[in-house]
Amino acid sequence: MAVTNSTTRVTVRCAFCDKLNRVDVARAADRPTCGECGRPILLDRPVKVSDDDFAATVEGAEVPVLVDFYADWCGPCRMVAPFVDELARQHMGRLLVAKVDTDRAPNVSMRFGIRSIPTLVVIRDGKEVDRSVGFEPERLKSMIAGVVA
Applying CB under 5 A, which of residues 17, 29, 79, 129 lies at the interface with Zn ion?
17
Residues 30 to 59 in contact with Zn ion, rule: CB under 5 A: 34, 36-37
80 and 94 Cβ atoms separated by less than 8 Å: no
**Would you say 32 or 118 has its CB closer to Zn ion?**
32
DSSP state letter for 59: I
Nearest residue (CB) to Zn ion, 48 versus 124 = 48
β-partners of residue 21 are: 12
Stretch that binds Zn ion, among 8-16, 89-97, 101-109, 120-128 (CB under 5 A): 8-16
Distance CA 60, CA 66 (A): 13
Buried-exposed string 22-52: b where 16+ CB fall within 10 A, e elsewhere: ebbbeebeeebebeeeeeebbbeebbbbbee
Residues annotated catalytic, as ranges: 74, 77
CB of 9 to Zn ion, least distance (A): 17
Residues near Zn ion (CB under 5 A) are 14, 16-17, 19, 34, 36-37
